[in-house]
Amino acid sequence: MTLLSTKATCNTHGQDSSYFLGWEEYEKNPYDEVLNPNGIIQMGLAENQLCFDLLESWLAKNPDAAGFKRDGNSIFRELALFQDYHGLPAFKKALVEFMAEIGGNKVTFDTSHIVLTAGSTSANETLMFCLAEAGDAFLLPVPYYPGFDRDLKWRTGVEIVPIHCASSNGFQITAAALEEAYQEAHKRNLRVKGVLVTNPSNPLGTTMSRGELNLLISFITAKGIHLISDEIYSGTVFSSPGFVSVMEILKDRKCDNTEVWNRVHIVYSLSKDLGLPGFRVGAIYSNDKIVVEAATKMSSFGLVSSQTQYLLAALLSDKKFTKNYISENHKRLKQRQKMLVAGLQKAGIGCLKSNAALFCWVDMRQLLHSNTFDAEMELWKKIVYDVRLNISPGSSCHCTEPGWFRVCFANMSEDTLNIAMQRLKTFVLDSTVNGRNQNNHHSPKNSKRRSPKWVFRLSSPDRNRESDER
**What span, in angstroms and rounded, lies between the C-alpha atoms of 199 and 213?**
10
Return the amino acid letter for 290: I
- 120-126-129 Cα angle (round to 5): 150
Catalytic residue (choose from 136, 149, 151, 230): 230
Query: Phi then psi for 136, rounded to 5 degrees?
Result: -75, 170
Catalytic residue (choose from 92, 272, 381, 425): 272
- Has 325 been annotated as catalytic? no
Picking from 409, 395, 410, the residue whose alpha carbon sits closest to that of residue 364 is 395
C-alpha distances in Å from residue 81, one per residue of 76, 77, 84 = 9, 6, 10
- Has 249 been annotated as catalytic? no
Half-sphere exposure of 393 (CA within 13 A, CB side): 26
Upstream peptide bond of 402 is cis (omega within 30 degrees of 0): no
- Has 272 been annotated as catalytic? yes
- Has 391 been annotated as catalytic? no
Pairing relation of β-strands 41-42 and 389-390?
parallel
What angle do the packed helices 210-223 and 175-187 form, to 10 degrees?
Answer: 30
DSSP bridge pairs for 192: 137
Catalytic residue (choose from 31, 145, 285, 310): 145
Q: CB of 344 within 8 A of CB of 428?
A: no
Catalytic residue (choose from 173, 228, 232, 284): 232
Question: Which positions are annotated as active-site residues?
Answer: 145, 230, 232, 272
